[in-house]
Amino acid sequence: MDTENIYNEQTERKKEKISDLHKKAEAEQIEVFVTENVAGKPILGVLHKEKEYYFNSRYEDDFLVKSWCSQYDMSNYRAIALVFGMGNGEYIRALREKNEQMFILVFEPSYSIAVINQDTIGLDDILENGQTMILVGEEQYSAVYHVFNTLATYEAVDYIKLFVTPNYENIFPKELEKIEEIYKECLTRIIFSRNTILMIGKEMTCNIANNYIDYIHQYSLANLIKVFKALELDEIPAIIIAAGPSLDKNIKQLKKAKGKAFLIAVDTALNPLAKEDIIPDISITVDPHKPLMLFRNEKMINIPLVYALTSNSKIKDFHKGMRIYQNSIDSFLNQFIRRFGKQSAFLETGGSVAHSAFSLAQRLGFKTIIFVGQDLAYPNDKEHSESVYNNSSINNIRNLNKEYFEVEDIYGKKVKTEYNMNQYRLWFEQAVIVYSEIKFIDATEGGAKKKGMEILTLEEAIKQECKLEKKIDFEQIIKSTQKIFTEEEQKIILKEITEFSETASHIRKKIYEGIEIYNKLERLNQRQEYSGKEFNKAIKKVTQLNKWVSENPDIAYLHMYAAEEDYQVRDVILEEKDSVYEEVKLVTDSGKKMLKALLDAIDKIETDMKPVIEEANRKIENNRTRQ
């Protein structure tokens, strides 16, 4: 885990915010006290609803702490513990004793408890190894979400656990509910991401390759964010326009918001908007196989489009506007982002383009976000706004062979939805918690109720939030965004693309050398020679090889081509075996399987890169002709 920056930030935060914690603790309506148990150890308690609650036993504390720590197997070096409540720190210390390499993320809901720990008991021993992070107070939900989602990976999913310090569930039930939602959303995201890559990985890799040349010559999300960060956006809302069935109710109202709010349209909303002559300020597409008919309307082909390397590569064949790329995935081009010192920017996703649209609004700095057409359900059995595909027969869910269930709608009644739509709704409810500084307004006027969002009609939302007298020209603002690379950098990248075969040969050579290292270790294992210099040398080489395979950013893009084998190896590599022989055999078998998959990946990449190389050569020749 690359957590160095997190640790540095934790140290600075600790130095700067001690006095801030004291001020917030003084304002907190909670009575915390310190006493001792029979063994003379300090323990913390809280007076809550006229009852005393203790976080540790007043009698035999060691047994309670050890039992609490033994809820899950946390022995793996990749383990991550999300701990709700610090108590007197003994539970955290006991977890650390079980595994020095485990990352422990502690969320303490009470400033008062944090202050008493800091001032009376002390936390330095907990924080000293750099593998523990403590976040305090409701404003840190966002930090918990981002740290947890950054560190949690698929291969460690069985060793990512939530621990709740005793009695915190009684004193802080609402805060615990929010942390539980963050925990569940993170694990769901990991599995969802894996399943998506396995299902449409080939389509994604083809799009990535076919978008390479375009990416080099287009614009970056990081530069767009830089432009918007220079603006005063406190009085300006963003309106995210999705294409749910309820969009037909209020789409005409959006004309009143043009120039007074930043209009972000998801790709499926473009046709309905074009029908009403409403041109959004920007659109966004992320789906690798989004139908092209959504983008062909002449009124929409010039608007800026937030794009990903995995987006349908055929869209750019007729889209004439700016394409603003997010760095959404590891690719061959990422090495140039690092080499030329470019900034990267990513958008969060919960599986829907509307999530990415929200993330765009959040990253640009908007503090009020209004949602339109975001039903996340099927009122009147309709799937989309009628104008999305201009075909009513495919817009009725009765014609689709899917399983549906009912959830509460914004009117307190029931509305049909399905599993993925419901997951999207839960993601937004989580976003309301995480981004507490943002005002969320649901102006859909239909569909599933999203907990935590203010419900208004679109007319009410525009009247309440779109207060500017003078309209803003967002078109000109967006046009000031710089391209990703300079012309000179573009030339360097094009040249190196034409030399990709040499790069592929170098990687092949390295992989073959790696296979031979595993063969050597396999022979030593068969002879069960574990104590000699030869075995130690082989293990050292395997360690270096694994680091090259898993951490080398210049070959990270290979793993998408080998996604199935990659996940198969991750599923078994952390299994514990009964003997050294079985452990080493697992290492050699998994290692060779992964390297052979990467060899196949190189072959697939070279096939995908052939038309890219041809296009790069044409660009180079055109540049020469112009000179």
Query: Is the pLDDT confidence value at 394 over 70?
Result: no
Hey, what CATH topology would domain 4-171 get? Rossmann fold (3.40.50)
- Reported as a single tens digit per residue, the pLDDT across 151-183 is 777 667 778 889 999 889 988 999 999 899 888
pLDDT at 13: 43
Contact 251, 279 (CB under 8 A): no
What secondary structure letter does DSSP report for 246?
T
Q: What is the mean pLDDT of residues 395-402?
A: 66
Q: What is the mean pLDDT of residues 542-566?
A: 80
pLDDT at 607: 92
Confidence band, pLDDT 50/70/90 cuts, at residue 3: very low
Q: What is the mean pLDDT of residues 575-586?
A: 81
Q: What angle do CA 273, 276, 279 make, to 5 degrees?
A: 50
Question: Does the predicted model carry a pTM greater than 0.85?
Answer: no
Segment of 226-240, 377-391, 526-540 carrying the highest mean pLDDT: 226-240
Helices vs. strands in the chain: H and E counts, helices first: 23, 18
Confidence band, pLDDT 50/70/90 cuts, at residue 402: confident
pLDDT at 84: 94
Query: Is the pLDDT confidence value at 328 over 60?
Result: no
Confidence band, pLDDT 50/70/90 cuts, at residue 395: low
Residues whose CB falls within 8 Å of the CB of residue 584, separated by 6 or more in sequence, listed in order = 521, 525, 530
Q: What is the mean pLDDT of residues 478-482?
A: 96
CB neighbourhood size of 358 (10 A): 28
- Reported as a single tens digit per residue, the pLDDT across 439-465 is 999 999 999 999 999 999 999 999 999
pLDDT at 454: 97
pLDDT at 200: 63
Note the residue count of the chain: 627
The percent of residues above 70 in pLDDT, for the chain, comes to 90
pLDDT at 190: 77
**Domain segments of the chain: what residues?**
4-171, 211-479, 487-626
pLDDT at 75: 77
